[in-house]
Amino acid sequence: MTETMSNTKERSAAAVIGCLCGDAAAQPIHWIYNLGKLQAILSALEYPEFRFPSANPYYRIDTGKNTCYGDQVMALLESLVRCKGLDVKDYATTQYCYFGPESKYENKLNAAFVIKSGVQKNFPIHGPWRDKVLKDFLVKYATKEEETGSNDMTDMHAVIQVVPIVSLYAGQPEMLEKVEEAVSVTMTADEAIVHSLVAARILEYFILNGSNGNVLDDVIKELRDPNRTCPHSLDKAVIGFLEKVKRNLTVPHFNAATKVFKNN
């Protein structure tokens, strides 16, 4: 029993450390949407992690530093430690301090950026990048809206916030509820929430079980359970997506990402 608990704690810590290290490792090649350019960069490197100098077309920060996604994890971790658990009001305030007008993220060129407008003149900026999820949150927080989450964005913020929450609450009955509460501080779109819940189920499986068993089959079984915790109207669609993943496990990553799942 003690050994099992120790391994669970070690895997929880490894999830957080791996999340932050992976984010920092990928930061210099973040948001390179031109696949030809990305392939050229990767083919010239034996190891793509922690590339120097940065090839990021939108922003430049020192290699080894985190993206806004990693910084959001740090904000959540700081709040969890200070409050000894999730306190959504404290988390929101901490995020505002991390990303608000008095933070290192304040940049006029970044502030004027319109999503899907692509790389513009004077890019990359010299400093970290504040994306639309965070911009939406900051506006709502500053105007004291009750719900501060972006209601139309569905990007990786929905997944990365899961890591500290699951690492803390894995195995506890309130885990999924805590995930939804934390993610809703910055994202409220249904697609974002359901992605966060399935990511949480997958991560919890590995924290509790290690690499034993089959995580996809286990999570699909749970999503089909009529008595599951935190049921969502999009769970059936998630099951279909996970089944598609299972059918393509042997497809090389690049082909799966670009052809099977069409860069989604």
What pLDDT, on a 0 to 100 scale, did the predictor assign at position 256?
92
Tens-digit pLDDT profile for residues 182-192: 999 999 999 99
Percent of the chain with pLDDT over 70: 95
Torsion angle, CA of 219/230/73/238, rounded to 10 degrees? 40
Q: Which CATH architecture has domain 2-260?
A: Orthogonal Bundle (1.10)
Give yes or no for residue 1 having a pLDDT over 60: no
**Segment 148-161 mean pLDDT:** 96
What pLDDT, on a 0 to 100 scale, did the predictor assign at position 120?
73
Nearest to 50 by CA among 29, 73, 36, 33: 29
Give yes or no for residue 117 having a pLDDT over 70: no
**Segment 59-84 mean pLDDT:** 98
What pLDDT, on a 0 to 100 scale, did the predictor assign at position 128?
98
**Segment 201-219 mean pLDDT:** 94
Q: Is the peptide bond before 53 cis (omega within 30 degrees of 0)?
A: yes
Give yes or no for residue 179 having a pLDDT over 70: yes
What pLDDT, on a 0 to 100 scale, did the predictor assign at position 264?
53
What pLDDT, on a 0 to 100 scale, did the predictor assign at position 6?
64
Cα distances from 172 to residues 1, 175, 216, in angstroms, run: 16, 6, 20
Q: Are 178 and 142 in contact (CB under 8 A)?
A: no
Give yes or no for residue 157 having a pLDDT over 70: yes
Q: Are 63 and 28 in contact (CB under 8 A)?
A: yes
**Segment 1-28 mean pLDDT:** 87
Spans of all domains in the chain: 2-260
Structure tokens at 200: 């949480």
What pLDDT, on a 0 to 100 scale, did the predictor assign at position 262?
78
Could you please report the per-residue DSSP string of 17-84? HHHHHHHHHHGGGTT---HHHHHHHHHT-S--TT-SS---SSEE--TT---HHHHHHHHHHHHHHHHT
What pLDDT, on a 0 to 100 scale, did the predictor assign at position 2?
43
Q: What is the mean pLDDT of the chain?
A: 94
